[in-house]
Structures are given as C-alpha cells and as structure tokens.
C-alpha cells in the first residue's frame, strides 16, 4: 500500500553522511561532499584503428593517434570536396579510447555521395563534452593539413555527440556550414536534472528516506526496495505510486506524446542505474543535476492539486553546482548558432529524452534562431534508434538547405497539443516500426 505523502525530517545521522534533504522554504538545499575523481591513464589501442571500405565502395582510409586521441578518416575516390565530422556518444569511464565510424546507413550514403568523414575518440572518456569539442576541432584542422581544406564542413553526432555538436557550432561559429545532432543532449546539463527527477520522485513516492548522492548499494538495495512498492512486478504492473512516477516522468521528459509508455516500460529500470553514475563530474565535483526550483506535476495542468503540492513538499531538493552550469566538461548550449541545424529524436527515448529537443528549441528562439533550426520526431523507443533511411533523408535535406537555401520540413516540438497527437512523428519515421503499423 502506498504510504501517505508527508514532509520528511531527515535524521542528523543521515545528514552527516552527505544525504540531501528537504529544506525549509527559501533555504538553500545543502550539498554533499564529493571525493575528487581518480586520475585515469587513457590509451588508444592502435591495433583496433584500421577499418575496411564498405562493399562496393572505393576510398582512401587513414587512422592513427593525434594529440592522444585516436582517429579515423575516410575519403571517397570521387571526393566532392566536402567533409563531415562525426562525434560519438558517451563511452563510460574506462581508460581505453575508441573511435566510432558513422552508422552504416549514414556512412554508406556519405561515401556514395562523395563526402569525406572524420571521427575522433576524444582525449578522455566520461561525460566530457569539452574533450569532444577540442578533439573534433583538432582533427578537422589535421584533415585540412593532410587531405585538403574542404569546401563545406558539416558536423553530426549522436547522444553526447549531439552535445558536442551543439557546443562546437557555438564555440567555432565560422568553421561549419551545417549541423545534424541526433538523439542529442541538446539541453546540456538539464539531461541530468531528469535523472535526478526520476529517482528523487521515486524516493518521495515510496517508503524510502531521501538519499543523495547514491550509496554504493543503491541499485541492488535502495532501488530494489522501491521497485517492490512501485510495481508488481515493476514496471510491467504499476501500483498507484508507480503510476504517479510514470506521470511525473512523462511531464518532465517532454509531456504527453506517442510511445512514452513504451519508453517508460523500456527505461524504468535503467533510470535507477544512472543515479549513482552522474552525481558529480569534472575536476570540481558537485551536483551536475539539480531540482531546487523544479515544480513536479502529474499532468499538464499548471494548477497544482493537493497531491502535487504534497509531492513537491516532500521530494528531496538538490542544487546543481554552479561550475556545471557551464564548466568542467558540461558546457551550456545557448542557441547561439548561425548555420542550418537539423535534428532527429526518438519519442520513446528516456536515456536522452525528447525534452532535450524542447529545451533546444526554446534556446534557439530566445536567440532569434528558430529559422535556422529544423527538428524531427521519430516514432522509436530505443536510444538513437534511427534507420538508414532516416539518417540519409535527414542529411540529404540538410545539404539541400545549406547548398540551395531550401529549408526542409520539420515537426513542432513545443505545442503540447501537436506533440500529444497519436500520429505525431509519422511524417519522418521511415520505415514504420512494428508497434506503429496501425497508426501511421
């Protein structure tokens, strides 16, 4: 049975072990002490760098290590003079640096259309966007010296690589002609707010003392106990508390939209595992996500019900460290770009949720750049689950926009009524997924 919502008083013993707690109105939420991150000796296994041409293509390929980062470059025999820089996603925290080639469908398209591409491992793993921006920029300069300066330069990336892309086109504004961040962390550190939201609300909705940062046994003990109160089993069959957690998560990750429930079923367990991973980042550890001013709601009505007021009174509050608003590897994206940008995002993705596109749209609008941004909703549940056709169409449309000035069509990501429509996302989803055959 769900426990009644009530204000929690955190015992002094918990406060002494760096547990965040609900603060009185107007008070600054207390922050835990973080250990300094351990030094990591990163390395590139050069034996893993070589790669083959795709069947039916003729290309010149090179690989190596540049300033500590591994790289790959591929140039078609009939190079059209343009270059695509590819930015990979989050790699975890291990010491080995690895390089991604673009997804096969996109790579095939690039090579067949005459585009060269280059990709870096970055000089560090972890969630270090600055390393990604700098390594990608350095590799582009290396391409200029060793292959030739391209006529047009594009940048594309997935997940954290979308964050890298978004920062790159603001930091190096004269370097690129077009950008395609997909399934990207376009809301910068606001992604980590959503991870905190999920776990903080789960704690408030169950018989769980609020804990932050997560103890070593959080997933196996704390989260496991919460799940017994959220579903039987969770998330297949939800209790009232589990239904409330799902409702809050929907509002915090993009609002009512197709495939959210399928996404929740896929990511509900996973979202407990990220809570211990991202409490603090960078050389000055602190809370990378925050919810000090967040208002939690169970529906889209901005008027708070008694239940919502009680939830907001009980949920633990954490204030993000100021350095993480723009320093220590988690730089902000401000919407200060001046080139065409085309994005794609899966509606059911909760690792990097659809709300990232909404944050990016608002940032672009605040800078007067809405005309330079086209966003596409894809009816997919998995993280970065795009088909070859979706990649190819998006990149082709971006090129036409850059070269001919013809702005492609996109989806409205900010109108709640539009996003909530059962057919939302059908326009650019190719092919239809198995769960959508009766909708689109």
Q: Look at residues 309, 289, 320, 316 and name the one whose alpha carbon lies nearest to residue 201.
A: 316
The SS3 assignment for 345 reads strand
Could you read off the pLDDT of 121-135 as tens digits, one per residue? 999 999 999 999 999
CATH number at residue 419: 3.40.50.1820
- For range 132-156, the mean pLDDT: 98
Residues 52 and 176 in one domain: yes
Residues 75 and 132 in one domain: yes
Residue-number span of the structural domain to which 136 is assigned: 43-188+331-436
Residue bearing the bigger pLDDT, 237 or 23? 237
Q: Is 57 domain-assigned?
A: yes
Residues 17 and 97 in one domain: no
Residues 73 and 181 in one domain: yes
Task: Say if residue 322's pLDDT is above 90.
Answer: no
- For range 238-260, the mean pLDDT: 98
Q: For residue 259, give every residue at least 6 positions away whose Cβ sits within 8 Å of its Cβ, in sequence order, or none.
A: 346, 347, 348, 379, 380, 381, 425, 435
The SS3 assignment for 23 reads coil
What pLDDT score was predicted for residue 246? 98
Residues 118 and 212 in one domain: no
Residues 311 and 240 in one domain: yes
Q: What is the rounded end-to-end Cα distance, in angstroms, of the chain?
A: 40
Q: At 162, is the pLDDT very low, low, confident or very high (cuts 50, 70, 90)?
A: very high
Q: Of 266, 288, 322, which one is at a domain's C-terminal end? A: 322
Q: For residue 252, give every residue at least 6 positions away whose Cβ sits within 8 Å of its Cβ, in sequence order, or none.
A: 194, 197, 198, 294, 296, 355
What token pair was written down for 326? Answer: 């723009």
Q: Is 4 domain-assigned?
A: no
Tell me if the bond preceding 146 is cis, omega within 30° of 0: no
What token pair was written down for 48? Answer: 């893993």
Q: Is 36 domain-assigned?
A: no
Q: What is the 3-state secondary structure (H, E, C) of 57-88?
A: CCEEEEEEEECCEEEEEEEECCCCCCEEEEEC
Could you read off the pLDDT of 82-131 as tens digits, one per residue? 999 999 999 998 999 999 999 999 999 999 999 999 999 999 999 999 99
**Are 408 and 401 contacting, i.e. CB atoms less than 8 angstroms apart?**
yes
Q: Is 2 domain-assigned?
A: no
Distance CA 214, CA 361 (A): 32
Residues 196 and 243 in one domain: yes
Task: Say if residue 8's pLDDT is above 50.
Answer: no
**Are 72 and 63 contacting, i.e. CB atoms less than 8 angstroms apart?**
yes
**Are 139 and 104 contacting, i.e. CB atoms less than 8 angstroms apart?**
no
Residues 300 and 350 in one domain: no
Q: Is 7 domain-assigned?
A: no
What pLDDT score was predicted for residue 85? 98
Q: Is 225 domain-assigned?
A: yes
Residues 392 and 286 in one domain: no
Place of tokens 């940048």: 155
- For range 316-325, the mean pLDDT: 78
Q: ∠ CA(407), CA(189), CA(86), 5° rounding?
A: 50
- For range 34-52, the mean pLDDT: 85
Q: Is 377 domain-assigned?
A: yes
User: For all residues of the chain together, what is the average pLDDT?
Assistant: 90
What token pair was written down for 53? Answer: 């041409």
Q: Of 299, 322, 345, which one is at a domain's C-terminal end? A: 322
**Are 42 and 123 contacting, i.e. CB atoms less than 8 angstroms apart?**
yes
Residues 183 and 194 in one domain: no
Residues 72 and 119 in one domain: yes
**Are 185 and 159 contacting, i.e. CB atoms less than 8 angstroms apart?**
yes
Could you read off the pLDDT of 183-227 as tens digits, one per residue? 999 999 999 999 999 999 999 999 999 999 999 999 999 999 999
Q: Is 54 domain-assigned?
A: yes
Task: Say if residue 26's pLDDT is above 70.
Answer: no
Q: Of 322, 343, 365, which one is at a domain's C-terminal end? A: 322
Could you read off the pLDDT of 59-78 as tens digits, one per residue? 999 999 999 999 999 999 99
Q: Which helix (H) or strand (E) holds 116?
A: strand 116-120
What pLDDT score was predicted for residue 426? 96
Percent of the chain with pLDDT over 70: 88
Task: Say if residue 1's pLDDT is above 60.
Answer: no
Distance CA 285, CA 437 (A): 47
Distance CA 233, CA 265 (A): 11
Q: How many domains does the chain have?
A: 2
Residues 127 and 167 in one domain: yes
Task: Say if residue 11's pLDDT is above 60.
Answer: no
Q: Which helix (H) or strand (E) holds 397?
A: helix 388-404
Q: At 37, is the pLDDT very low, low, confident or very high (cuts 50, 70, 90)?
A: low
Task: Say if residue 16's pLDDT is above 50.
Answer: no
């Amino acid at each position: 049975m769900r426990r009644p919502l009530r204000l929690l008083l955190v015992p002094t013993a918990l406060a002494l072990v760096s547990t965040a707690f609900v603060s009185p109105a107007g008070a600054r939420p207390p922050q835990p002490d973080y250990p300094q991150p351990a030094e990591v000796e990163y390395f590139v296994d050069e034996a893993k760098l070589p790669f083959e041409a795709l069947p039916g293509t003729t290309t010149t390929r090179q690989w190596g290590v540049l300033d500590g980062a591994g790289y790959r470059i591929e140039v078609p025999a009939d190079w059209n003079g343009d270059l695509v820089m590819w930015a990979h996603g989050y790699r975890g925290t291990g010491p080995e640096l690895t390089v991604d080639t673009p997804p096969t469908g996109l790579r095939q398209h690039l090579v067949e259309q005459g585009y060269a591409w280059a990709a870096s491992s970055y000089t560090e793993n972890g969630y270090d966007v600055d390393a990604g921006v700098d390594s990608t920029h350095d590799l582009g300069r290396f391409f200029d010296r060793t292959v030739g300066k391209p006529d047009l330069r594009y940048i594309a990336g997935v997940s954290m690589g979308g964050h890298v892309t978004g920062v790159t086109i603001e930091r190096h504004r004269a370097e690129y002609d077009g950008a395609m961040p997909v399934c990207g962390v376009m809301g910068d550190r606001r992604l980590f707010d959503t991870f905190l939201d999920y776990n903080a609300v789960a704690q408030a909705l169950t018989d769980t003392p609020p804990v932050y940062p997560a103890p070593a046994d959080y997933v196996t003990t704390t989260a496991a106990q919460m799940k017994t109160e959220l579903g039987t089993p969770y998330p297949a069959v939800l209790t009232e508390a589990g239904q409330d957690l799902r409702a809050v998560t929907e509002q915090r990750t993009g609002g009512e939209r197709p495939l959210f429930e399928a996404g929740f079923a896929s990511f509900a367990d996973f979202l407990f595992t990220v809570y211990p991973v991202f409490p603090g980042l960078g050389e000055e550890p602190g809370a990378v996500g925050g919810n000090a001013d967040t208002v939690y709601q169970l529906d889209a009505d901005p008027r708070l019900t008694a239940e919502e007021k009680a939830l907001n009174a009980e949920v633990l509050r954490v204030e993000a460290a100021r350095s993480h608003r723009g320093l220590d590897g988690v730089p902000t994206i401000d919407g200060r770009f001046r080139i065409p940008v085309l994005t794609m995002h899966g509606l059911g993705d909760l690792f990097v949720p659809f709300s990232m596109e909404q944050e990016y749209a608002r940032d672009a609008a605040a800078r007067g750049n809405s005309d330079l941004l086209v966003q596409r909703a894809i009816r997919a549940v998995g993280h970065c689950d795009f088909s070859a056709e979706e990649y190819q169409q998006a990149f082709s449309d971006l090129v036409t926009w850059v070269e001919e000035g013809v702005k492609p069509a996109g989806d409205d990501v900010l109108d709640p009524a539009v996003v909530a429509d059962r057919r939302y996302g059908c326009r650019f989803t190719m092919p239809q997924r198995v769960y959508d055959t009766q909708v689109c």
